[in-house]
């Protein structure tokens, strides 16, 4: 049963698990950055609306752990040994290859090492990162709270693609480049409010929720239930499913129908949702909407849905990240980089978040010049007041992350692929007029330097 709870913590955490498969690896693996035949003279260091992110130079000397005159050593956390999902390693390969072809950071080559936690080995990988890395960039682990104490003790800054657990998300020395989970707030409030009060008001009195049986996902469900209640919605169905998945979703589908559920929130692995929808569709039971959660935002989910892609109404909130279907120039540039450096990789939502983290790291590190220290890096990153990752997402105020930016954008699944839903955007691709909601219940607080007997005065 303990293993089951762990499995569902990964499968049902909406921001961590995607459906694409990847390469399996051991605990740590170097990612060699550098293109095939490209040179600093032929590669541009610009990305989107960011200029000279990476550049040649003649930086001198070692200024911090993991920094020499020639290279900068970065750790990339992942659970790929468990999930078989290489999205963070692939994002690191794309970024470092491109950046090094453009000259690196002031001439220093960026070398990324995968820190594969394999779900349960977060502390072991963090100890290695504390020993070798200058910073952590563009990764994530489902049980990330297990490594925060060690990270803060060794004063290791982190630029995660995503943070999951309450003790990790928003912890000290952590900078989330893209719109992220902020403890004490539900940044899905805009989407939840829109879906029950504007888009499908008839569903307001009959919302259902189903998620995996684990402490992690129960906490997420608690946040969601509080927000739904605040929006005036009634939760008529709230069910857990076994962590190992369900072989027959018929009893769940029948319960959803018998309760008259009109809007369903699903928290878990999208393959399981596709199976549930198959049963619902075969029963000819159509919901007004299904929140598939944004780990379903990929082509694989569309394929698995089959006829349910058009019969049911699957929605995902991208939380202010530009859709791959958009004509945003930064998205086109990212696709071109993947085509060049990782042509067999799939660009996922977490991968886009990872790229924003890498770009923030590079811009901040470059601004430090020869004197690249962790303190300089962190100070530069947290001075950004409207960070968009070059245009990959809505502006994020890193200097004042609380309250979180409220922007959201909704994609809708069809048999022809994903398309923008009619959510009344008011700021380009996004809608930003419904504030993130401050939570009433206590769902936990992030760890601080004071918790490990340290302070910013110790940060160098």
188-221 pLDDT tens trace: 999 999 999 999 999 999 999 999 877 667 778 8
CA distance 8 to 108: 41
Q: Evaluate whether 80 touches 116 at the Cβ level (below 8 Å).
A: yes
Q: What is the mean pLDDT of the chain?
A: 91
Looking at per-residue pLDDT, the higher value among 216 and 319 belongs to: 319
SS3 state at 198: helix
Cβ count within 10 A of residue 385: 11
Angular region, 118: left φ>0, alpha ψ -120 to 50, beta rest = left
Q: Distance between CA 193 and CA 201 in Å, rounded?
A: 10
* 353 contacts 335 by C-beta, under 8 angstroms: no
Mean pLDDT of 92-121: 97
Give the burial string for 324-336 (b: 16+ CB within 10 Å, else e): bebebebbebbee
SS3 89: helix
Q: Is the per-residue pLDDT at 316 higher than 80?
A: yes
Residues 381, 401 contacting (CB under 8 angstroms): no
Asked whether the predicted pLDDT for residue 38 surpasses 90, the reply is no
C-alpha to C-alpha distance for 253 and 270, rounded to whole angstroms:
16
pLDDT interval class at 10 (50, 70, 90): very low
- Reported as a single tens digit per residue, the pLDDT across 332-383 is 999 999 999 999 999 999 999 999 999 999 999 999 999 999 999 999 999 9
Amino acid 331: pLDDT: 98
Question: What is the structure's pLDDT at 6?
Answer: 37
pLDDT for the residue 23: 35
Dihedral (Cα; 406, 429, 47, 388), 10-degree rounding: -10
pLDDT tens track for 394-442 = 999 999 999 999 999 999 999 999 999 999 999 999 999 999 999 999 8
Identify the bridge partners of residue 41 per DSSP, sorted by sequence position: none
Helix (H, G, I), strand (E, B) or coil at 393: strand
Q: Is the CB of residue 139 less than 8 Å from the CB of residue 54?
A: no
Can you give the pLDDT at residue 27? 65
Whether residue 24 is predicted with pLDDT greater than 60 in this model: the reply is no
Question: What residue ranges define each of the domains in the chain, with the CATH number in brackets?
Answer: 21-183+327-402 (3.40.50.2300), 188-318+406-438 (3.40.50.2300)
This prediction has a pTM of 0.92
* CB contact at 8 A, 50 and 361: no
Q: For residue 284, count CB atoms less than 10 angstroms from its CB and return exposed for 0-12, middle for 13-18, buried for 19 or more.
A: exposed
The residue that leads in pLDDT, 436 or 38, is 436
Q: End-to-end CA distance of the chain, in Å?
A: 44
User: Looking at residue 33, what is its pLDDT?
Assistant: 58
Helix axes 87-101, 329-341, angle to 10 degrees: 90
Outline where 231-328 has alpha helix (H): 250-258, 270-282, 299-305, 308-311
Q: What is the pLDDT of residues 253-294, one digit of tens each?
A: 999 999 999 999 999 889 999 999 999 999 999 999 999 999
Residue 22 has pLDDT above 80, yes or no: no
Q: How buried is 375 (Cβ within 10 angstroms: 0-12 exposed, 13-18 middle, 19+ buried)?
A: middle
Query: Degrees (nearest 5) of the Cα angle 23, 29, 30?
Result: 115
Alpha-carbon distance of 211 to 205, in angstroms, equals 20
> CA-CA distances (angstroms) from residue 35 to 2, 56, 103, 334, 366?
44, 15, 11, 15, 21
For the chain, give the percent of residues with pLDDT over 70.
Answer: 90
Angle at 43 between CA 42 and CA 44, to 5 degrees: 125
**What distance lies between CA 194 and its chain's CA centroid?**
22
pLDDT surpassing 80 at residue 26 = no
Residue 66 near residue 74 (C-beta atoms within 8 A)? yes
Are 460 and 207 in contact by the 8 Å Cβ rule? The answer is no
Q: Is pLDDT at 16 greater than 60 in this prediction?
A: no
Hey, how many other C-beta atoms are within 10 angstroms of the C-beta on 91?
33
Cβ contact 54:103 at 8 Å: yes
Gap between the Cα atoms of 124 and 214, Å rounded: 23
- Name the residue with tokens 């530069």: 380
CB 19 within 8 A of CB 228: no
Mean pLDDT of 55-67: 94
């Amino acid at each position: 049963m303990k293993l089951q709870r762990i499995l569902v913590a990964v499968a049902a955490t909406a921001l961590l698990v995607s459906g694409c498969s990847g390469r399996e690896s051991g605990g740590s693996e170097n990612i060699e950055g550098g293109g095939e035949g490209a040179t600093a003279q032929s590669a541009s260091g610009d990305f989107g609306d960011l200029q000279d992110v990476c550049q040649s130079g003649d930086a001198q000397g070692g200024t911090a752990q993991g920094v020499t005159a020639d290279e900068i050593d970065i750790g990339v956390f992942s659970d790929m040994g468990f999930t078989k999902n290489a999205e963070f390693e692939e994002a690191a390969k794309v970024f470092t290859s491109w950046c090094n072809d453009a000259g690196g950071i002031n001439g220093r080559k960026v070398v990324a090492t995968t820190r594969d936690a394999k779900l349960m080995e977060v502390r072991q990988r963090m100890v290695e990162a504390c020993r070798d890395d200058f910073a952590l960039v563009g990764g994530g682990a489902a049980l990330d709270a297990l490594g925060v104490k060690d990270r803060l003790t060794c004063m290791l800054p982190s630029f995660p693609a995503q943070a999951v657990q309450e003790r990790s998300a928003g912890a000290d020395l952590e900078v989330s480049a893209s719109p992220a989970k902020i403890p004490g707030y539900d940044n899905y409030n805009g989407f939840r409010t829109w879906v029950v009060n504007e888009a499908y008001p008839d569903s307001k009195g009959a919302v259902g929720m189903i998620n995996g049986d684990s402490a992690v996902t129960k906490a997420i469900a608690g946040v969601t239930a509080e927000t739904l209640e605040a929006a005036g919605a009634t939760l008529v169905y709230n069910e857990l499913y076994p962590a190992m998945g369900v072989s027959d979703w018929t009893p769940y589908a029948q319960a959803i129908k018998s309760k008259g559920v009109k809007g369903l929130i699903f928290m878990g692995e999208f393959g399981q949702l596709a199976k549930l929808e198959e049963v619902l569709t075969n029963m000819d039971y159509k919901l007004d909407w299904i929140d598939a959660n944004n780990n379903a935002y990929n082509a694989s989910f569309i394929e698995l849905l089959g006829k349910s892609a058009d019969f049911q109404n699957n929605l995902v909130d991208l939380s202010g990240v530009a859709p791959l279907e958009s004509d945003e120039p930064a998205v086109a540039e990212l696709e071109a980089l993947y085509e060049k450096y990782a042509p067999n990789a799939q660009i996922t939502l977490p991968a886009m978040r990872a790229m924003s983290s890498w770009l923030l790291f590079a811009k901040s590190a470059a601004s430090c010049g020869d004197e690249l220290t962790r303190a300089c890096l962190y100070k530069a990153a947290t001075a950004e007041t409207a960070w968009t990752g070059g245009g990959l997402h809505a502006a994020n105020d890193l200097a004042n992350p609380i309250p979180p930016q409220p922007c959201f954008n909704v994609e809708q699944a069809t048999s022809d692929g994903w398309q923008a839903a009619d959510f009344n955007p008011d700021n380009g691709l996004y809608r930003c007029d419904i504030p993130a909601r401050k939570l009433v219940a206590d769902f936990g607080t992030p760890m601080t330097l004071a918790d490990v007997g340290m302070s910013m005065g110790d940060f160098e």
